[in-house]
Structure 1
Amino acid sequence: MVHPERTTTSAPADLVFSFGTLLDEKVLQSLFGTRLNTVKDSLIGHGTTEVVITDLDVIAKSGKNVHLGLVRREGNSVSGGLLALTPDQLATADAYEVGAYARRRVPTGAHGQAWCYVSAEPLAVAERIALIGDSIAYGRCTPEGGWAARVASRHIARDEENNRFFNLAWPGATMLEVLDAAEAEVSARRADTILVAAGINDLLHVEGRSGAKVSQDVIARLESFCDAMESQGRRVVVMSPNWVDTTVIPGLHLDEILDLRESMRSWCQRTFRDFLDTWNVLADRPALFSDGIHPSTEGHRLLAEAVGSI
């Protein structure tokens, strides 16, 4: 098996799978000031689409105002190549890729896990989405099935032949419980994208633990879950906890919910995972709740708009 040629410096190198302009010798020379060895590889379960580029500096480097982007396509694959980049080169590549792209982990066909610049809108390019979460994700207190049913309807309508949405939410469950149960469930449904919406119950069921300890446990379990899912080619999108009217919910403290939200956000940013922050959709709007914790029909409608925008 041939591997990309690693840098001769002491700095470690990261493997990056490219399917577009990062394989162009002129672009590589412009970005890094040198040619880089590339090795052929592929990305399974994906197809390509066109991304219009408006950044003039990127257009000048690539010579193109339309680049390739990735979409999920079960049974398809995208050919490309692997590059070995130093941390400085990786930062340069990050700066080159426009806001339509996000650096995420993917398993390549021949060389194992690598970085790849995929769509920054994970749900928009997904094919088979699995939602795991608690009663809010399940749609409790709404006859229409909550925000998830609205998102599912729009997702399936975009491509009724291929798109699927599986609501695997578990009312009353903690984040740790839904993650433990999810691995077999999402595999059975061949989900390519997993939306994780839980966390409030972890703070309700603290069992003597502090809010800080709950956050630590949630992040540790999220890390192991994401590692397992990414090794299988699945992309995980972590939703923030929603605002809760703690004046009517005994045992919940607003500062602990905010700390959990910040722990999730900072962890996702630090480890290059997707974070969907819905906090401000319902924050300080108790009229949008049926009981202080479960959104009303209007609250779910607003959440659906926020989730459906990515």
Structure 2
Amino acid sequence: MSHPARYVFVGDSITDCSRDRSDPASLGEGYVRLIADALAGRAGGAEVRNLGVSGDRAVDLEARWAGEVAPARADVLTVYVGVNDMWRRFDSDDPTEAAAFEATLRRLLDALPAPRPRLLLIEPFFLPVTPDQRAWLDDLDGKRAAVVRVAADYDATLVPLHDRLTAVARAQGIPAVAPDGVHPSPEGHRMIAEAWLEAAGLDATGTDAAGLDAAGTAAAG
């Protein structure tokens, strides 16, 4: 690999996290920045791009995939989407069925140029903050299951979040993790970054904890 390993993150507001979209180097203030900080000391360097856009659903990613995501030529591509596919059902009467969500994810990954980058799929989470929102989890469950299936079928690394963040919210209260149930607190973003690093086989300093290089293959020596 002649260039520093290129890590691209694409998703919704959790990934976007107030990035400056006029500045390609802007990482936002959330988990992507924390991961970039951890990767900064990697041998050979690491180039991190944040392509998150607030409000995006899977179909919105698809609309900008060919023009924005595929040309980024990621060595490691992280896709984190799903909570808006759930949310629009309840705030806009615009549902996305789990099967349609899954089909879109598959089209996105099928459209990646060869050689396909190492893939990480982050499982969406939601923490109900009102009693009526507890029923919303039934809708999200279908999206979570779809992410798990797609990760398995495309040899992608799954980053589990929902149970992990739900357990912390039970112990510390929802505001400690995501005050509105969706958008993480600084501590919530730290937990997402930690989960990503663990799933990627890296420690908190970005060092290969499992002997993996950026392509996810065993490193020589």
* TM-score, structure 1 normalization: 0.52
1:153 to 37, 47, 51: 37
**Structure 2 unaligned spans of 5+:** 19-27, 201-221
Mapping 1:13-28, distance limit 5 Å: none
Aligned mates of 1:248, 1:205 — CA distance in 2: 18
Instruction: For residues 155-202 of structure 1, give each alpha carbon's deviation from its aligned partner in whole angstroms, at most 9, with x where no partner exists.
Output: 13214x641010110011112202331333234433222100111111
Query: What amino acid sits opposite 1:128 in the alignment?
Result: R
In structure 2, the CA distance between the partners of 1:163 and 1:252, relative to structure 1 (3 Å rule), is farther
Q: Deviations over 1:253-307 (max 9, x none)?
A: 0121122101211232244333221222311511322222111111111111111
Q: Which residue of 1 aligns with 2:210?
A: none
The change in CA–CA distance for 1:233 and 1:146 in structure 2 (over 3 A counts) is: same
Is 1:275 matched up with 2:176? no
Deviation per CA, 1:48-78: give whole Å up to 9, x if none.
Answer: xxxxxxxxxxxxxxxxxxxxxxxxx247xxx
Q: Where do 4+ consecutive residues of structure 1 move more than 4 Å? A: 207-210, 248-252
Which among 74, 92, 103 is matched to residue 220 of structure 1? 103
User: What are the Cα deviations for residues 238-258 of structure 1, in whole angstroms up to 9, with x where unaligned?
Assistant: 111023225278697012112
**Contact 2:102 2:143 (C-alpha < 8 Å) held by counterparts:** no
Q: Summarize the Cα distance change of 1:174–1:295 in structure 2 as closer, same or farther, 3 Å threshold.
A: same
Amino acid of the residue matched to residue 156 of structure 1?
A
Instruction: Give the 3-state SS of the residue equivalent to 2:116 in structure 1.
Output: coil
**What does residue 53 of structure 2 align with?**
170
With over 3 angstroms needed to count, the CA separation of the structure-2 counterparts of 1:301 and 1:228, relative to structure 1, is same
3-state SS of paired residue (1:180): helix
Cα–Cα, structure 1 residues 292 and 187, in superposed 2: closer, same or farther, change >3 Å?
Answer: closer
Asked if structure 1 preserves the Cα contact closer than 8 Å seen for 2:8 and 2:74, the reply is yes
Residues 57-206 of structure 1 correspond to what in structure 2 (within 5 A)?
Answer: 73-74=1-2, 127-139=5-17, 145-159=29-43, 162-206=45-89
1:236 maps to which of 119, 124, 132:
119
Matched, 1:289 2:178: yes
CA distance in 2, matches of 1:252, 1:294: 19
Paired residue secondary structure (2:7)? strand
Larger strand percent: 1
8 A Cα contact 2:57 2:84, kept in partner:
yes
Separation of aligned partners in 2, 1:283 and 1:191: 31
Distance 1:191-1:266 versus aligned 2 partners, 3 A rule: closer
Distance, in Å, in 2 between the alignment partners of 1:270 and 1:168 is 24
Contact 1:132 1:182 in 2 (8 A): no
Which amino acid in 1 is paired with 2:59? L
**Identity between Structure 1 and Structure 2 (%):** 24
Higher-RCO chain (CA-CA 8 Å, sequence separation at least 6): 2
Contact 1:248-1:292 at 8 Å conserved across structures = no
Asked whether the 8 Å contact 1:249–1:293 carries over to 2, the reply is no
Q: Are the counterparts in 2 of residues 197 and 240 from structure 1 also a CA contact under 8 Å?
A: yes
* Larger fraction in helix: 2
Distance (whole Å) between structure 1 residues aligned to residue 120 and residue 7 of structure 2: 10
Q: How does 1:237-252 map to 2 (within 5 A)?
A: 237-247=120-130
Distance 1:295 1:192, change over 3 A: same
Residue equivalent to 2:209 = none
* Residue 252 to residue 127, structure 1, CA distance change in 2 (3 Å): farther
Q: Is there any run of 5+ residues in structure 1 with no aligned partner, and where?
A: 1-72, 76-125
